[in-house]
Structure 1
Amino acid sequence: MKPPSGLFFRDDSRRIDFVLVYHSNSPHSERRDVFERNLRAEGLMMEKEMSITNNDLTFVKIHATWEMLCKYAEEMNIRMPFRWVLPLLGLDRSNLPSESLKRFHRWIPKNPMNLDTKNLPDLEELECYTAPFTRQRLHQFIIHDKNTFFSNSLRSRMVHHVLQRTHYEEGRSKIGKATPFCLYSAAFPLHEGSYKGTLPITQNGADNHRHLLYERWARWGMWYKYQPLNLIRRYFGEKIALYFAWIGWYTGMLIPASAIGFAVFLYGCFTMNTSTVSQEICHSKLIMCPMCNGKCNYWKLSDSCIYSKITHLFDNGATVFFAIFMAVWATVFLEFWKRRRAELVYEWDLLDIEEEEEIIRPQFEAKYSKSERINPITGKPEPHQSFNDKCSRLLASASGIFLMIGVVIVAVFGVVAYRVIVLSVFITFERQFMDSHYPVGQAGTGACLIFVIIMLLNVVRLEQPRTESEWENSFTLKMFLFQFVNLNSSTFYVAFFLGRYRCGCLFDLCMQMGIIMVLKQIWNNFMELGFPVIQNWWAKKKMRHEVSNSEMDRLPQWEKDHSLQSMNTYGLFDEYLEMILQFGFVTIFVAAFPLAPLLALINNIIEIRLDAYKFVTQWRRTLASPAKDIGIWYGILEGIGILAVITNAFVIAVTSDFIPRLVYMYQYGPCARGSTSGTSANCYSNYVNNSLSVFKIHSLCFYRYRDYRLPPEEHEDFHYELTLQFWHILAARLAFIVVFEHLVFFIKMLIAYLIPDVPRGLQECMRREKLFVQEMVYKADLETLRQKKRKDRFFHEWP
């Protein structure tokens, strides 16, 4: 791999580990001087450069010395490669399930999903035992070159650690009311050069790791390849690598779900024209009651022929099977993800990683700097928030969440009013097309309006947590709750509360889910990639007014990176939130929309490359952060899986016609007990007529409506009371919900019990490695002690 250029100080030997940017006319110049002086005292070297494209900008280049890196690597418990490599210990990582899977695929000729590893670098530390770095055992670590011992991402991470903890006011031992980054307009580590190479990578190799990531990961032509997770981890850190590992695993698990969901949809297509219920509706001569008061007219049941066929696509005999499959699929997905995560954590040697001491949030410190207490662990004074203040802020925060949820519910009722108005307007049209297809217009425009409301409320960003992890978990939980209600409240209304017009509300539910999924995915993809591309294009256009095109190519790396977009304040929150909400759509209402996994699969294939392209080409290099899992998102996924079982049970029992058809087939139809036997198709004959009640206008005029009520009798006061069949159906619905939930939850618990979180082969490797490491450290310490005794004896015996 070629050495990077434009990433060093003027002497071309000291690497730039971090860059700070400020405007010359900005305030706080005295504080910046104090801050930079304190940084030099910590062991950082700095060099300033004026911007070529903007005379108002100044770049502060930062380089960390070897002594400073060693000091903070020890303080942050960073694990580095030890001298004893695992193969010498007899440990074989090929026993891991992921490696076994790779060996299993070797017999497949030219597997198109495998990456070409010819140009991928050998990451030596992945094959070595790593241990927390200490300066006392410096000789026991594998150090070929001090300049490359710590990777670029680790160097930047340690410099960022120093920047966060360095004060910028005279006489203070702590940071001020905000982080030191408030003194600068930008702060970022540098990319390792350009992502575009001058020659093909297959002939000349990669120019740098960024170029390699683009060619083997972020380029659109690699959409079907496996992701180079080790390289992503080396360049961006474990937190981002785990996100891409999770979304890749989720996408792979969507393949069988998409295949079965598409098969259910095809089954509906093939049986659509032969369905007894649809044929009865299409050939019916029954006249139905108006759907509104006043201007609405009577209509023929046969007018809803096409909608009955469309509903059959999603409401057929395979629906229950698919709902059970998706509930089990969600459990299998989560259980196998835990196994995959365990493999990655072991492979990346994160099992014994110690959490870094979390810095108190500057906002928290500024708020409670006057009320301090002694930390029982560190013994140092720190800002303290009283219990009453914490409760009051928690109550205010919860009230804000419920207020926003109330706004969402009001918006849903607004859409309900809109649907009622549109229904009356469409029906009053005299045109035959509008009169026949108004359900499509009503459901379609209503779904589009709901999508607009969802996107408008999405921009809302709603306690004072003490640390960054507490703030992140609190923010994640609150924002997910709000966004989940915002996205799904209207869908719950359509599924369980909307009046059952014509062929039921399943058609409305299917259309709403399809429209929201497609439009939301298109919008998110545009905002994730299209918007940053437009912003970067505009920034480069303004730069071209200052320099020529030839000079643009020769700009230093810090100038090029500064023109890129910075990662948003919320980190990976938006990326995870988008996928988790999609997971909810795929599982919660999948019984009503079996094509949801297929749409999610197509979107995720694009999403992975969009995110990769964005991280590599459109964003400044993100700071590497350690992580062992995906955090609070896993608990949210488990909660969605439980909710999905309950929701699908109610969708099948309440929203669809599965239970009424079943009751009719075994109790009231031609195939009921004591009745004439027939084929399964004949068992549903006359079902439509049986499911409609009679409304009497006068003695010779009768109209039908969808319900189970007694018909009016002559010379009697009739009250349209509910029939016995209604109570049978209600009892069957309740029984189905109870049986379905208990059965699926039992299967889920059984699968979770049978699938261990850590593969057996991995557990054996971990135990063996732990034993060998203990022996290795003991022998190393013993050898060091023996050498010290020899030296002491030698000097003692020296005449």
Structure 2
Amino acid sequence: MEKESSLTNSDIIFVKLHAPWEVLGRYAEVMNVRMPFRIERQISRFQGWLPRKPMRLDKETLPDLEENDCYTAPFSQQRIHHFIIHNKDTFFNNATRSRIVHHILQRVKYEEGKNKIGLNRLLTNGSYEAAFPLHEGSYRSKNSIRTHGAENHRHLLYECWASWGMWYKYQPLDLVRRYFGEKIGLYFAWLGWYTGMLFPAAFIGLFVFLYGVTTLNHCQVSKEVCQATDIIMCPICDKFCPFMRLSDSCVYAKVTHLFDNGATVFFAVFMAVWATVFLEFWKRRRAVIAYDWDLIDWEEEEEEIRPQFEAKYSKKERMNPISGKPEPYQAFADKCSRLIVSASGIFFMICVVIAAVFGIVIYRVVTVSTFAAFKWALIRNNSQVATTGTAVCINFCIIMLLNVLYEKVALLLTNLEQPRTESEWENSFTLKMFLFQFVNLNSSTFYIAFFLGRFTGHPGAYLRLINRWRLEECHPSGCLIDLCMQMGIIMVLKQTWNNFMELGYPLIQNWWTRRKLYQEHGSQRKTSFPQWEKDYNLQPMNAYGLFDEYLEMILQFGFTTIFVAAFPLAPLLALLNNIIEIRLDAYKFVTQWRRPLASRAKDIGIWYGILEGIGILSVITNAFVVAVTSDFIPRLVYAYKYGPCAGQGEAGQKCMVGYVNASLSVFLVSDFENRSEPTSNGSEFSGSPLKYCRYRDYRDPPHSPVPYGYTLQFWHVLAARLAFIIVFEHLVFCIKHLISYLIPDLPKDLRDRMRREKYLIQEMMYEAELERLQKERKERKKNGKSHHNEWP
């Protein structure tokens, strides 16, 4: 141990810890650390979906990026000569050394007393302000890495991983693992795998969009809408909204076709299968990484009890079945009551989200009339689009404000539950935060997808909110354009904001800290600060570890899969963001944050279960989007049952002739309610007051025996929608389960390598035991104590 006074703050003292070889060797044996003992292993590393050469790192100019292909075994000082030790100073890598030191510090008793143990308690009670492993030096160098080599691993990571010029290269995951530890290495491995899997999804989504572009001029529905100058639509709001020609929505009809075309159903099925393939192949990839990083047989150590739990339940103790020592415990009744209160808090916060969505709904139904009476013609003529656009922006602001509130509520509820260990606390907090943010982010999208325009009634008998505001209707071209706007704006704004907060905020904070230091101590000290001083002035890693990084990507995965049938460009936007995200996170870890403690993990934890849940939900939502939100089913029913090709088994564009007229019902203008009657009488269209207008629905005309009753075509469409949902879900779930069954979690070649490694370890242990016995035999012979019946 060494003490150093701070050069910038006399109140701060740094305590530097060194671990000599004897300590590292002893605790590596205690912690069962696996080290290389034989060079033979050849690991096939999957590199990605793109061609390999331009994506691979240049190992000649950037050497030492991958570890030796060695078999590993638990380190033992008795069998030390079996291990490959070129240099004792570098035998244990950075992550392993810091993990050993932390292991020691967590078990040291600092005062007499049962609970006076461990560094975490000293940090909690304020004895120490911070504890962190040091970076290896500066990440910058005056000399080129290609000519002079890397000065340290941090410099190497910056040049070959965190540099923006390496955005198209694969990540040096082994180097990341050696420097930051397995847990952070697994995050970047998962992020890289997810990004690589987005390439086919983005390509197919772009193909679906381009298919809509190329078939736009051949779309019969769009043609009929654009040519329908004689069809007058009923107003979409009370009083101020005018009558309008259907042809005025020509542009919206064409834009809708870009996202709602014949390839939409194929893409929905593809993305549901893609999500399953992504998760199944990630399990295989994780197995290879776990073997490569010696995590196959690794088990987490018995965790220490959280100090808060200990303080709360110190009076009640019972025997720990693992350690055999008495420890505090929480009574079952107390645990249940706390969980009930926590669940009530979660339910209340979900109600807050629903109330916020209700407020957005009220805003939409009120402002559509306001925009319809606006003095600017551009806004007046596009009142519905202006309403949707402003509502989405307001919704985004509410989402960001509620996220801040949710974090505090999730923290309060998790602490109220009193989890026993840190991992239990982390899992509980993660689940709450994901649930809060998922509902907050997607509630408005669910409203637009499945409720907007579905329960509005019909002209003359509109359904109203609080018996006052008429519920919002879809545009004459459908509701899909609203859903696309919602997803596009939210996705772009949220990813932009997250990227700024991830990099811009730490950059500004670190710049401000350096500026104050240089102002106080002069520019001559710029290069004289020791490494521990520089690292202390960096930003600490988030209090919740990798939670924010995982949460951002999981929410993006939800956006990419749940409503992808309505927005096929979502995977492309996610791919572009993730290419930037990898380098942003790398730059942040290498340059802006203190070096985090290298900790181990076998997988991505609770996040995998959340991903599986999102995959299941995406199948259901995409089935409903195709069946309910898009016009795919009504067009299909018309083509096979009511169109010119009815009964012929055809469904081409020629079979869609007359679809627009068949999908619109007739309304007698004189039947309007007083509060719904428009200020305009429609005389600008024909020179005389308008007698009839049209609206989107399948209802009988006003002079039929049952005025405005549902037609037979309505029931046919409804039955077809329900049948499609059932068939789609069962088909996709069958495909998903079949893929899960056909793809084994462990590759065959990996299983063979694991068996060979086990065999070689047994041989090594046998040879070591044989050497020990032979050595004992020689010593006995030397001392004259040899026996003839002794085993050689």
TM-score (norm 1): 0.89
Are 1:378 and 2:366 counterparts?
A: no
Question: In the alignment, which residue of structure 1 is the partner of 2:659?
Answer: 687
Are 1:415 and 2:357 counterparts?
A: no
Aligned-residue offset at 1:760: 1.4
Question: In the alignment, which residue of structure 2 is the partner of 1:445?
Answer: 390
Q: CA RMSD of the aligned region, Å?
A: 2.2
Aligned-residue offset at 1:727: 0.4
Question: In the alignment, which residue of structure 2 is the partner of 1:25?
Answer: none
Question: What amino acid is aligned across from residue 348 of structure 1 in structure 2?
Answer: W
Out of 737, 740, 761, the position equivalent to 2:728 is 740
Question: In the alignment, which residue of structure 2 is the partner of 1:53?
Answer: 8
Unpaired runs of 5+ in structure 2? 411-416, 454-473, 672-689, 787-792
After TM superposition, the structure 1 stretch with the greater mean CA deviation from structure 2, 665-674 or 322-331, is 665-674
Q: Distance in 2 between matches of 1:469 and 1:225?
A: 34
Question: In the alignment, which residue of structure 2 is the partner of 1:35?
Answer: none
SS at match of 2:73: strand
Aligned-residue offset at 1:342: 1.1
Question: In the alignment, which residue of structure 2 is the partner of 1:483?
Answer: 437
Aligned length: 736
Q: Is the 8 A contact 1:277 1:687 kept in 2?
A: yes
Q: Is the 8 A contact 2:667 2:693 kept in 1?
A: yes
Question: In the alignment, which residue of structure 1 is the partner of 2:695?
Answer: 705
Question: In the alignment, which residue of structure 1 is the partner of 2:101?
Answer: 159
Are 1:615 and 2:603 counterparts?
A: no
Question: What amino acid is aligned across from residue 345 of structure 1 in structure 2?
Answer: A
Q: Distance in 2 between matches of 1:175 and 1:370?
A: 19
Are 1:577 and 2:551 counterparts?
A: yes
Question: In the alignment, which residue of structure 1 is the partner of 2:59?
Answer: 117
Out of 366, 370, 388, the position equivalent to 1:425 is 370
SS at match of 1:179: helix
Out of 396, 401, 408, the position equivalent to 2:346 is 401
SS at match of 1:567: coil
Question: In the alignment, which residue of structure 2 is the partner of 1:18?
Answer: none
Unpaired runs of 5+ in structure 1? 1-45
Question: In the alignment, which residue of structure 2 is the partner of 1:237?
Answer: 181
Q: Distance in 1 between matches of 2:527 and 2:764?
A: 51
Are 1:762 and 2:750 counterparts?
A: yes
Q: Is the 8 A contact 2:560 2:571 kept in 1?
A: yes
CA displacement, residues 315-359 of structure 1 (integer Å, 9 cap, x when unaligned): 011100111111111111111111111111111222112322211
Q: Distance in 2 between matches of 1:514 and 1:347?
A: 40
Question: In the alignment, which residue of structure 1 is the partner of 2:231?
Answer: 286
What does 1:161-200 align with in structure 2 at a 5 Å threshold?
161-172=103-114, 174-175=116-117, 179-182=121-124, 183-200=127-144
Question: What amino acid is aligned across from residue 247 of structure 2 in structure 1?
Answer: S
Question: What amino acid is aligned across from residue 704 of structure 1 in structure 2?
Answer: R
Out of 211, 222, 227, the position equivalent to 2:171 is 227
CA displacement, residues 352-395 of structure 1 (integer Å, 9 cap, x when unaligned): 12322211112211221221111122111111111111111111
Aligned-residue offset at 1:66: 3.3
Q: Distance in 1 between matches of 2:660 and 2:428?
A: 51
Question: In the alignment, which residue of structure 1 is the partner of 2:423?
Answer: 469
Question: In the alignment, which residue of structure 2 is the partner of 1:435?
Answer: 380
SS at match of 2:318: strand
CA displacement, residues 584-628 of structure 1 (integer Å, 9 cap, x when unaligned): 111110000000000000000000000000000000001111111
Cα distance 1:261–1:159, how it changes in 2: closer, same or farther (>3 A)? same
What does 1:349-364 align with in structure 2 at a 5 Å threshold?
349-364=294-309
SS at match of 1:546: helix
Are 1:546 and 2:501 counterparts?
A: no
Q: Is the 8 A contact 1:341 1:629 kept in 2?
A: yes
Q: Distance in 2 between matches of 1:134 and 1:486?
A: 52
Are 1:669 and 2:643 counterparts?
A: yes
Q: Distance in 1 between matches of 2:611 and 2:184?
A: 19
Q: Distance in 2 between matches of 1:232 and 1:655?
A: 45
After TM superposition, the structure 1 stretch with the greater mean CA deviation from structure 2, 256-265 or 364-373, is 364-373
Q: Distance in 2 between matches of 1:629 and 1:765?
A: 20
Q: Is the 8 A contact 1:167 1:180 kept in 2?
A: no
CA displacement, residues 565-602 of structure 1 (integer Å, 9 cap, x when unaligned): 01011101110111111011111100000000000000
SS at match of 1:635: helix
SS at match of 1:187: coil
Aligned-residue offset at 1:680: 1.9
Question: What amino acid is aligned across from residue 754 of structure 2 in structure 1?
Answer: M
Aligned-residue offset at 1:77: 2.2
After TM superposition, the structure 1 stretch with the greater mean CA deviation from structure 2, 117-126 or 381-390, is 117-126
After TM superposition, the structure 1 stretch with the greater mean CA deviation from structure 2, 118-127 or 279-288, is 118-127
Question: In the alignment, which residue of structure 2 is the partner of 1:62?
Answer: 17
Aligned-residue offset at 1:425: 0.6
Aligned-residue offset at 1:701: 1.1
CA displacement, residues 622-680 of structure 1 (integer Å, 9 cap, x when unaligned): 11111111111111111111111111000000000000000000000111127xx9982
Out of 725, 739, 753, the position equivalent to 2:741 is 753
Question: What amino acid is aligned across from residue 492 of structure 1 in structure 2?
Answer: F
Alignment identity in percent? 67
Aligned-residue offset at 1:141: 3.4
After TM superposition, the structure 1 stretch with the greater mean CA deviation from structure 2, 473-482 or 574-583, is 473-482
What does 1:292-331 align with in structure 2 at a 5 Å threshold?
292-331=237-276
CA displacement, residues 61-93 of structure 1 (integer Å, 9 cap, x when unaligned): 1222334333432332222233xx042xxxx52
Q: Is the 8 A contact 1:289 1:705 kept in 2?
A: yes
What does 1:482-561 align with in structure 2 at a 5 Å threshold?
482-499=436-453, 500-561=474-535
Question: In the alignment, which residue of structure 2 is the partner of 1:93?
Answer: 42
SS at match of 1:545: helix
SS at match of 1:112: helix
SS at match of 2:526: helix
Question: What amino acid is aligned across from residue 338 of structure 1 in structure 2?
Answer: K
Question: What amino acid is aligned across from residue 42 of structure 2 in structure 1?
Answer: R
Aligned-residue offset at 1:544: 0.3
CA displacement, residues 105-135 of structure 1 (integer Å, 9 cap, x when unaligned): 9xx7x82111011244447964332222344
Question: What amino acid is aligned across from residue 710 of structure 2 in structure 1?
Answer: L
SS at match of 2:131: strand
Question: In the alignment, which residue of structure 2 is the partner of 1:17?
Answer: none
Q: Distance in 1 between matches of 2:118 and 2:315?
A: 13
Question: What amino acid is aligned across from residue 736 of structure 1 in structure 2?
Answer: F
Question: What amino acid is aligned across from residue 682 of structure 1 in structure 2?
Answer: K
Question: In the alignment, which residue of structure 1 is the partner of 2:84?
Answer: 142
Q: Distance in 2 between matches of 1:397 and 1:345?
A: 36
Aligned-residue offset at 1:138: 3.9
Question: What amino acid is aligned across from residue 301 of structure 1 in structure 2?
Answer: L
Aligned-residue offset at 1:177: 12
Q: Is the 8 A contact 2:273 2:736 kept in 1?
A: yes
Question: In the alignment, which residue of structure 1 is the partner of 2:775?
Answer: 787
SS at match of 2:72: strand
Q: Distance in 1 between matches of 2:165 and 2:251?
A: 41
Question: What amino acid is aligned across from residue 343 of structure 2 in structure 1?
Answer: A
After TM superposition, the structure 1 stretch with the greater mean CA deviation from structure 2, 619-628 or 428-437, is 428-437
Q: Distance in 2 between matches of 1:147 and 1:258?
A: 47
Q: Distance in 2 between matches of 1:436 and 1:572?
A: 48
Question: In the alignment, which residue of structure 1 is the partner of 2:413?
Answer: none
Question: What amino acid is aligned across from residue 578 of structure 2 in structure 1?
Answer: N
Aligned-residue offset at 1:237: 0.6
Aligned-residue offset at 1:766: 1.5
Are 1:75 and 2:30 counterparts?
A: yes
SS at match of 2:520: coil
Are 1:722 and 2:710 counterparts?
A: yes
Q: Distance in 2 between matches of 1:218 and 1:729?
A: 54
Aligned-residue offset at 1:260: 1.0
Q: Distance in 2 between matches of 1:546 and 1:743?
A: 69
Question: In the alignment, which residue of structure 2 is the partner of 1:625?
Answer: 599
Cα distance 1:749–1:570, how it changes in 2: closer, same or farther (>3 A)? same
SS at match of 1:49: strand
Q: Is the 8 A contact 1:157 1:625 kept in 2?
A: yes
Aligned-residue offset at 1:308: 1.1
Q: Distance in 2 between matches of 1:613 and 1:177?
A: 29
Question: In the alignment, which residue of structure 1 is the partner of 2:612?
Answer: 638
Q: Is the 8 A contact 2:234 2:695 kept in 1?
A: yes
SS at match of 1:118: coil
Q: Distance in 2 between matches of 1:242 and 1:369?
A: 37
Cα distance 1:796–1:129, how it changes in 2: closer, same or farther (>3 A)? farther
Q: Is the 8 A contact 2:79 2:768 kept in 1?
A: no
Q: Distance in 2 between matches of 1:226 and 1:171?
A: 51
